[in-house]
Amino acid sequence: MKIMTTFFVSVMAVCGFSASALVPNFTTPHRIDISGEVYHPVLSPDGSTLLFSSADHTGLNSLDLATGKISVIDKSAAAGFEPTFSHDGSKIYYRTAVKVNGLMNRDVRCFDVKSSTMTEIAKPNRDSRALKGIDRQTYAATDFDHINVSVDGKLSSLDPVAGAHTYQWASISPDGTRILFSEPFKGVFVCNLDGTDLKPVMPKGDYPCWIDDSTVAAVVSHDDGYIVLDSAVVLVDLASGATATATTPDCLVGELTASPANRSIIFTTVEGELYQINPTNTER
């Protein structure tokens, strides 16, 4: 697989603007070589640690991006499905799956990063409560046909897109003022914490995430109904709408995660390879 040798900024050719004034500059994606395939990446709040799993979400592992050390957190089924860090990154919350009386149940487990110990904090149950809400007073989490938003502990339910089928990947901006999310059939949007001032970001996009308060990224892909034909990491400047494509056409991007703390971007490919993109400047 080839990875881009220069950072191609499409908006320069289209709009004639300076890329640095619209979308921040980033390095060429570089591969992180680790043993085995990597799927479902989740970056810690400070961008230092990456959680990942197998293709079917079995097991949960962590990668120290500074040292390259890999630690096994849990080998259980579904442990790698949407784990989340605590607000300060000191704990990791996740669920494992087990059948009870023929029905799928999931427990809730807490892994303490410092002591490397796991505690079961909820027995297997049918509850789908967002893990983000365990120790966060402010968060956004999708729940099928609405978005649950907690601001200083006060919970509300939003349905900001008219005729929405479902919502995915909701998150709050680093400055705590806006929500970023995807409606699979209508595109990627941002809105205020109360659902007002809805603005489209791109016509389609998966795994949208904040890079900073002014920039978001998402995976934009196309398929024929069976296989992925193309898939890329695309950055968008929210103020201008300018876009930048960070990967070449022969790089089939799988999933994306980012940390606004250091504006680092991590993505996997559909083949289970792992890549990182870092900003070339530390300030916008």
CATH number of 10-45+136-277: 2.130.10.10
183-214, pLDDT tens digit by residue? 999 999 999 999 999 999 999 999 999 999 99
Q: What six digits make up the tokens of 180?
A: 């970023």
Q: What six digits make up the tokens of 229?
A: 């034909």
Q: What pLDDT is recorded for position 281? A: 65
Average pLDDT over residues 268-277: 96
Stated pTM of the model: 0.90
122-146, pLDDT tens digit by residue? 999 998 778 999 999 999 999 999 9
Percent of the chain with pLDDT over 90: 83
Q: Has residue 215 got a pLDDT over 80? A: yes
Q: Has residue 18 got a pLDDT over 70? A: no
Q: How confident is the model at residue 5 (pLDDT cuts 50, 70, 90)?
A: very low
Domain coordinates of the chain in residue numbers? Answer: 10-45+136-277
Q: What pLDDT is recorded for position 8? A: 33
Q: What pLDDT is recorded for position 284? A: 56
Q: Has residue 3 got a pLDDT over 80? A: no
Each as own residue / partner, the long-range contacts of residues 168-172 (CB below 8 Å, 24 or more positions apart, any chain) are 168/142, 168/206, 169/142, 169/206, 169/207, 169/208, 169/209, 170/140, 170/141, 170/142, 171/140, 171/208, 171/209, 171/210, 172/138, 172/139, 172/140
**Residue of 186 and 17 predicted with greater confidence:** 186
Q: What six digits make up the tokens of 224?
A: 């024929």
67-114, pLDDT tens digit by residue? 999 999 999 999 999 999 999 999 999 999 999 999 999 999 999 999
Please, what is the average pLDDT of the chain? 90
CB-CB contact of 64 with 52 (8 Å): no
CA dihedral 25, 29, 32, 38 (to 10 degrees): 110
Q: What pLDDT is recorded for position 1? A: 41
Distance CA 218, CA 81 (A): 19
